[in-house]
Structure 1
Amino acid sequence: MTVNRVELQRIMASLQENGLTVEAVEDGALVQHGDTRVALFVEKDPQGGVIVRLHLDLDLYVEEDSLPDILIGMNLMNQGLDYGSLNLDPVDPEEEEPDAPLTFAVLGRSVLWLPELNAAELDRLREHLRRFETEVTETVENTLHGPRGMLA
């Protein structure tokens, strides 16, 4: 379902009022939180309210031959996440090489349902956004730079 632009603009205005930098994009918004930018998309829920989807591009890429090890590591990391999850998305190849290995981007993703857009629910969204970005970023950084860094 498509979102009414009014709902997206209300969410963007609320985030801006609370000191976050928000930039409209084609079908959503980019929210600057610390050093990262979280993509935010909103759609109407047929049963009422809106569904907010958050996407955090981690600038991590893996090739298909590393997938077994990466999937085990991501599964372990996801077990410790409360506000989102790590996912793999295939990257469209820039060059048309038939034998080139597939590459996947590692993304943080989260979904939040807001039954309405009142002040309490918008506060809950801001807190969820903050915790999502912090939790995913810290988990990945600790894994990559910790004593048992993930090999990709």
Structure 2
Amino acid sequence: MTAPRNELQRIMRALEASGLSVEAVEDGALVRDGDSRVALFADADHRGGVIVRLHLDLDLYVEEDALPDILMGMNLLNQGLDYGTLNLDPVDDEDLGEDAPLTFAVLGRAVLWLRDLGAEELERLREHLRRFEAEVTEAVERTLHGGKGLSA
């Protein structure tokens, strides 16, 4: 059940007022802060409130043969994350031949429930968004540029 468009627009206005660049995309919004881009989607909760889903595309791709090592590394990284998780999504690339290895995109994801769209809850969303992006990006960069971790 999707939140009424005016709720998403209220969220977008609040994020813009806090200094973030926000633009509407299909059924959600794209929030930009510097080089980072987080997709934001809002759904009405049948118990009241709004469920906000955040997706951070990390521009990392993994081929099927590297999955065992990657999954172990992601599991370890996820244990240290407070504001989101790393997930793998299959990349649907019709341009590749049938014999091409299956490829997965590494994404950061988070979900936050807001009891309403009052100032306090919108501030909590801004803080969650900021910490989610920073925490996931830092964990991945530290792992990729450190001596051990993910190898794709």
Which stretch has the larger CA shift, 4-13 or 94-103? 94-103
Give per-residue Cα distances to partners, 1:88-147, cap 9 Å, x unaligned: 000002325121110000000000000100000000000000000000000000000012
Q: Which residue of 1 aligns with 2:61?
A: 61
For residues 111 and 96 of structure 2, the distance between their equivalents in structure 1, rounded to whole angstroms, comes to 34
Whether the 8 Å contact between 2:73 and 2:149 is mirrored in structure 1 is no
TM-score by length of 1: 0.97
Count of residues paired in the alignment: 152
> Which runs of at least 4 in structure 1 moved beyond 2 Å after TM superposition?
none
Tell me, yes or no, if structure 1 residue 130 matches structure 2 residue 150.
no
* C-alpha displacement of 1:149: 4.5
- 1:20-99 aligned at under 5 Å gives the runs 20-99=20-99
Q: Which residue of 1 aligns with 2:17?
A: 17
For structure 2, which runs of at least 5 residues remain unmatched after alignment? Answer: none
Give per-residue Cα distances to partners, 1:11-47, cap 9 Å, x unaligned: 0000001100001101000001231000000010001
For residues 89 and 143 of structure 1, the distance between their equivalents in structure 2, rounded to whole angstroms, comes to 20
Give, as a single letter, the amino acid of the residue that structure 2 aligns with 1:127.
Answer: E
Give, as a single letter, the amino acid of the residue that structure 2 aligns with 1:13.
Answer: R
Give, as a single letter, the amino acid of the residue that structure 2 aligns with 1:31.
Answer: V
Whether the 8 Å contact between 1:93 and 1:102 is mirrored in structure 2 is no
TM-score by length of 2: 0.97
For residues 114 and 149 of structure 1, the distance between their equivalents in structure 2, rounded to whole angstroms, comes to 34
Query: Identity of aligned pairs, percent?
Result: 74
Q: Which residue of 2 aligns with 1:139?
A: 139
Give per-residue Cα distances to partners, 1:45-98, cap 9 Å, x unaligned: 001000000000000000001000000000000000000000000000232512
For structure 1, which runs of at least 5 residues remain unmatched after alignment? Answer: none
Secondary structure, aligned partner of 1:109:
strand
